[in-house]
Structure 1
Amino acid sequence: MRPGTSNHCGQSSASRHSRRWSWLAVASALLLGACTTPLDPRRDAGYQETAYTADRPVTRPVRSISSFSDSLMCMDEMLRAAQLPTTLITSKQFTDYSTRVPVGIKEMIITALSQMSRRSNAFRYVDYEVDIVRQDTVQNLTTILLNNNLMQLQRPALYVSGAVAFVDQNVLTNRNDAGLSGPRIDLGVSRNSSATVIGLEMHLGDFRTRTLIPGLDSANEVVIGGGSQGLDLAGRIGTYGVTFNVGRDYALGAGGAMRTLVDLAAIELVGKWARVPYWQCLTLDQTHPDFQRQMREWFMDSGGVAQARLIQSSLVAQGYLPPGSEVLDMSSPDLRDALGRFQADNGILPTGTMDFKTYERALSHFVTLDNSGRLQQVGWSTSGPGGTAAVAKGAPGYLPVKGKAFELNAQTAPERVIDLKIKNPMLPGSSPTFEVGEQVFAAATVSRASHVYCFFNDAVGNVMRLTPNNVNPNSLQSANQVLRLPDWLVPNPAFIMDASQPGTERLACLATDKDVMDRLPAPLQGTGVVNIPGYRSIEDVENAFSHALGDEPVSKAEVQWKVIPKKAPPVQSQPTAAKAAPNA
């Protein structure tokens, strides 16, 4: 090779490298100069404005429902049937010695007790915290009022105690890894799974003696776990390398597991304490651990029209839509209103839309276990459960109404049932009797959403409408929701019922599908809680409803009680020495 050529090429290569370094130096100088100038935040104003919406959730919030939510409602009905008086209850703070389950167990207990008391009013929770660290404004004010005798704190009869007994983490762990390597490709596959056991202990104690009641305990465990799958791929093309990673993971949360344990323990403790057959509420098919997952699969597999037919058939059967209704469009105000009322009555966030939670609540009673223990549909068809499928009367999967069964059919609706009872404590089997001036408390429920009108008839022939009234002018009553007469849970109720005159007094509630107030005679349309002129008995009111509604159905429930004169207080005899004192 000639020296000149080699030298020329060397100079050319050095020249090219010199130019590259020159451009790099110029770019660095420009970048350094730009860094010394502050950025103008106004240039990012349009981008930053999206933060107002970017920080919002993209899915609707839902109510927390565990596998035993239906069991809690079942316990509420069972306690209501047992007619237990209201019991004050409180609980201690639950300790997690493992520090691996950071959940509010005490608040979960309050929620469980509340759900078992919606209709039965079985429990009222006494909320008072003695730990200074946990005290807030309400507790501090309570302490001040108690110290100055300006507030009375009722002593609870029962209290709940317990703790997270143990958390055995990673009791089971499986790891599977495999790899393959070649001149131009590397491949790796992994699969892992683990299981953790959580134990919860709960006890019921007598607050008066601060002793735990023998036999009233619950010790349950639940398994949560996690798993992962991964694939790693690496390859080389010439002097360049390419990598590819993909993975899937799941983890069963401790929050949902603890709510399941708390609900189960609360049902066990309350059932044992009240001596009711609580196991009937624990054997429901809805307690199956795969219940919601199976319902989710059915929800995803069915189309929009099929979902609409199924849900609307259930709404018709429960009285939220009129019988014979066709499939309504989602833009229909009647359907959105019916969905909203159904969701509110069943503990679902009332959105008025056909989401999965509504689907599950509407059709949960139409799922049962087959002989092999798997979940199966009962009476489902494209026209709704019970529409075309042949299902035997009384078979599992029918919605219960007062111990009876009815077929879910879009053309018929179940008979409306009104349950009206006196809530004053009385001896079992005794007829209701009150002294003059004694307050009377009652409660009413309807088996499906209805407009309810309640009337009081005293012993001398006066009739007045108790509800609706000026304080609560709305006559619409949701299904299975308690209408208190009077409402003893508010400080200033619209009325009180006092036994006024010796004799027989009556209380009756009438229910209709639609609001009929403007169709009734003028005296019945007046303001509530005043004597109605021209009406002397409940029969007069019932006849007025029948004439105004014609063939439209009216349901009625009535209770009576006897009023006796007030007993005179016993006369206390004076000591003999005191009588003889004036003659001394």
Structure 2
Amino acid sequence: MKTTTKKKTLRWGAMALALAALAGCATTENALKDANTLLQEREADKLLPVTNLSPYSLALGRFGRMLDVYKEGDPVIYMQTRSILDATNLSSPLVGAEIPGDITEMVRTAVNRIGARVVYVPYHPDYLVSQAQLGAKFGVTMPDFLITGALTEFDRAIAGAGRVNSAGIEFGKGNGKTTLGGDVKRTAIYSALALDLNLVSFSTQQMVPQVQASNVVKVLNFSSEDNASLGFYGDAFGFKLEGKYLQGRHSAIRTLVDLSVLELVGKATNTPYWRCIPNGTPDPVVIENMRAAYNGLTPELKLGLVQVTLRKYGEPVQVTQQYDDQTRQALEKVYAQRFASLGAVDVMTWQGFEPLFFGVPMSWDTAQAQIPGAAPAGAAAPAGAKAGT
């Protein structure tokens, strides 16, 4: 009697576990249904064209407006590229064509996003020759700079982490033996893609020293796996749920291209391009180039540059290359409002002029420019800026 009662209990327990497992299957079916709904929505969205923008595409547009401010009156810069290819050979079909083999068009698009002060000059000699044979006449624009480079690194699984949680229970004997188990698995793997770009002077065919961009982007490959099983009376059933999330390598490369072109042209023009990027870090190459250039100027040219910079702050000063009352008042006003914590400075030195140059207001930057020691606008200063003798 006791044995029969025990078997009945085991059977009822097994049925309860089976119902629980079936409920789990229902949950799985709901999850799959939701996944199919999301997939259908995504496929529907694909019917509508969208702008292909990377996180740094807006920064390139901002940089173009920055050049309008810093390079007002300067001649247009003409750019051209050589073919920007894959140097890792992982774009070959023999290894699965994991990355694009030619990203030249991405680089051209990034240069063209900047605006009218940086113009891309196409190079299609076959097309021009064919058109010339038909009687077409062309003007030739020679570029100032040539962009060279390649995809130089693709390291799979540079870092990874995984976690597995498993649990199981077994009870009963013989035909009443029942097992219940499950496990949860999560794996994250990072790969790295690197792009190198260099700038070449077209007239001399020499690389411009220290004007290059070498950046790396990490790509995440995340996978999840959930398993559950139930077995009784020698039979078993279960379910398995898997999911994967893989960031697109092509999209990551476009982000890499946009950032690298921004850095390359920013260095070439000696402008604070990092202000176009949220929480951007000042570039020591640009800072050092400007320091050397400023220290090499005569006192008259320094005062002229100070007056030109003050005009970018909206101060109506005349470029006289003289330290007149108008210039003095404008300097004291700007430094009192924006750089009060610096105290008294001498704008004839680079240390005094640096915050003025790199802190020129931009239309998108409502907060104070990222200058060490800069104070919020409107702060009072015990002393203003002056011109040394």
TM-score, length basis structure 2 = 0.52
Q: What does 1:469-548 correspond to in 2, within 5 Å?
A: none
Q: What does 1:346-361 correspond to in 2, within 5 Å?
A: none
Task: Count residues with an aligned counterpart.
Answer: 228
SS at match of 1:58: helix
**Letter in structure 2 aligned against 1:198:** L
1:115 to 108, 113, 116: 113
**Letter in structure 2 aligned against 1:209:** T
Equivalent-residue separation in structure 2 for 1:403 and 1:228 (angstroms): 40
Equivalent-residue separation in structure 2 for 1:107 and 1:242 (angstroms): 53
Which blocks of at least 5 consecutive residues in structure 2 are unaligned? 1-39, 91-97, 171-177, 282-360, 368-389
- Residue 73 of structure 1 aligns with which residue? 61
- Residue 190 of structure 1 aligns with which residue? 185
Equivalent-residue separation in structure 2 for 1:111 and 1:273 (angstroms): 18
Equivalent-residue separation in structure 1 for 2:206 and 2:113 (angstroms): 26
Considering only CA atoms, is the larger Rg found in Structure 1 or Structure 2? 1
- Residue 145 of structure 1 aligns with which residue? 131
- Residue 464 of structure 1 aligns with which residue? none
Q: What does 1:246-285 correspond to in 2, within 5 Å?
A: 246-282=241-277, 284=278
- Residue 176 of structure 1 aligns with which residue? 163
SS at match of 2:43: coil
* Compared CA separation, residues 88 and 148, structure 1 to 2 (3 A): farther
Matched, 1:63 2:51: yes
SS at match of 1:184: strand
- How far 1:67 moved relative to its partner? 2.3
- Residue 209 of structure 2 aligns with which residue? 214
Confirm or deny: 8 A CA contact 2:274 2:280 kept in the other structure.
no
1:154 to 132, 135, 141: 141
SS at match of 1:112: helix
Q: What does 1:199-238 correspond to in 2, within 5 Å?
A: 199-238=194-233
Confirm or deny: 8 A CA contact 1:70 1:286 kept in the other structure.
no
Equivalent-residue separation in structure 1 for 2:217 and 2:44 (angstroms): 31
Give the fraction of aligned pairs with identical amino acids, expressed as a percent: 24
- How far 1:115 moved relative to its partner? 1.5
**Letter in structure 1 aligned against 2:131:** L
Equivalent-residue separation in structure 2 for 1:232 and 1:91 (angstroms): 52
Confirm or deny: 8 A CA contact 2:85 2:102 kept in the other structure.
no
Equivalent-residue separation in structure 1 for 2:264 and 2:106 (angstroms): 15
* Compared CA separation, residues 226 and 95, structure 1 to 2 (3 A): same
Structure (1 or 2) with the greater helix fraction: 2
Equivalent-residue separation in structure 1 for 2:66 and 2:236 (angstroms): 68
SS at match of 2:227: strand
* Compared CA separation, residues 402 and 224, structure 1 to 2 (3 A): closer
What value does the CA root-mean-square deviation take over the aligned residues?
3.1
Matched, 1:93 2:87: no
Which blocks of at least 5 consecutive residues in structure 1 are unaligned? 1-53, 131-139, 288-398, 406-584
Confirm or deny: 8 A CA contact 2:85 2:104 kept in the other structure.
no
Summarize deviations over 1:123-155 as a string: whole Å, max 9, x none: 22222246xxxxxxxxx4422234677433432
Equivalent-residue separation in structure 1 for 2:229 and 2:158 (angstroms): 34
**Letter in structure 2 aligned against 1:159:** L
Q: What does 1:361-380 correspond to in 2, within 5 Å?
A: none
**Letter in structure 1 aligned against 2:156:** Q
SS at match of 1:57: helix
SS at match of 1:233: strand
Equivalent-residue separation in structure 1 for 2:365 and 2:256 (angstroms): 29
TM-score, length basis structure 1 = 0.36
- Residue 27 of structure 2 aligns with which residue? none
Higher relative contact order (CA 8 A, sep 6+): 2
